[in-house]
Structure 1
């Protein structure tokens, strides 16, 4: 396998993994919302499911930690790509990515995201 193919394959899997973590985080948020609406909509006491909600909120925190870790892994793998002698590789799902150093006013005018 050529080094460029290794980089492409790894990069594609990395993006799929990042998307899966984001999807899981969104699903947990939906679960929190649904359970809260079900409890409130049916006039159930706040005590019902409190332990379960604590565990679900903890899951959100853990998934957010995983999301941050994946971002660090992405940066680290970018260094590996360079070590393998490959130039910047354009792969992904066409998501907008923050542009380092772009001023918020410029980004808003251009309809682009900014780096936070």
Structure 2
């Protein structure tokens, strides 16, 4: 396997991990919002479900730490890549979705410098 293929595979896994953490943050945030909305809709006291809501919010804090860690990993991998003399590569989602309604796909790994 060529170096560019290995790097592209690693970049793809990294972006997938970052996206998964972001998706988990969105889901956990939605859960907290739904808990508050349900309590309001049911007209129950703020103390009802307070423990569960606090734990859900705790999960948000943990996910925030996970996001910081995965993006720090990204930064370190980029530094290592440059240190090995492989230049700078850029990969990521294309800026504009295809006009035929297909989902956005990852751009090809391209050498920037």
**Cα offset for 1:58?**
0.4
**Cα offset for 1:86?**
2.0
Larger helix share, 1 or 2: 1
Please, which runs of 5 or more residues in structure 2 have no aligned partner? 96-113
Cα separation, partners in 2 of 1:83 and 1:6, compared to 1, 3 Å: farther
Q: How many residues align?
A: 95
Q: Which has the higher contact order (CA 8 A, sep 6+)?
A: 1
Please, which runs of 5 or more residues in structure 1 have no aligned partner? 96-116
Q: Cα RMSD (Å) of the superposition?
A: 1.3
For residues 7 and 80 of structure 2, what CA distance do their matches in structure 1 show?
9
The equivalent of 1:8 in structure 2 is 8
The equivalent of 1:42 in structure 2 is 42
Are residue 69 (structure 1) and residue 56 (structure 2) matched? Answer: no
- TM-score norm. by structure 1 comes to 0.75
For residues 6 and 77 of structure 1, what CA distance do their matches in structure 2 show?
13
Could you say what secondary structure the match of 2:46 adopts?
A: coil
Cα separation, partners in 2 of 1:86 and 1:4, compared to 1, 3 Å: farther
The equivalent of 1:104 in structure 2 is none
Runs ≥4 residues deviating over 6 A: none
For residues 80 and 88 of structure 1, what CA distance do their matches in structure 2 show?
10
For residues 62 and 47 of structure 2, what CA distance do their matches in structure 1 show?
24
Are residue 19 (structure 1) and residue 19 (structure 2) matched? Answer: yes
The equivalent of 1:114 in structure 2 is none
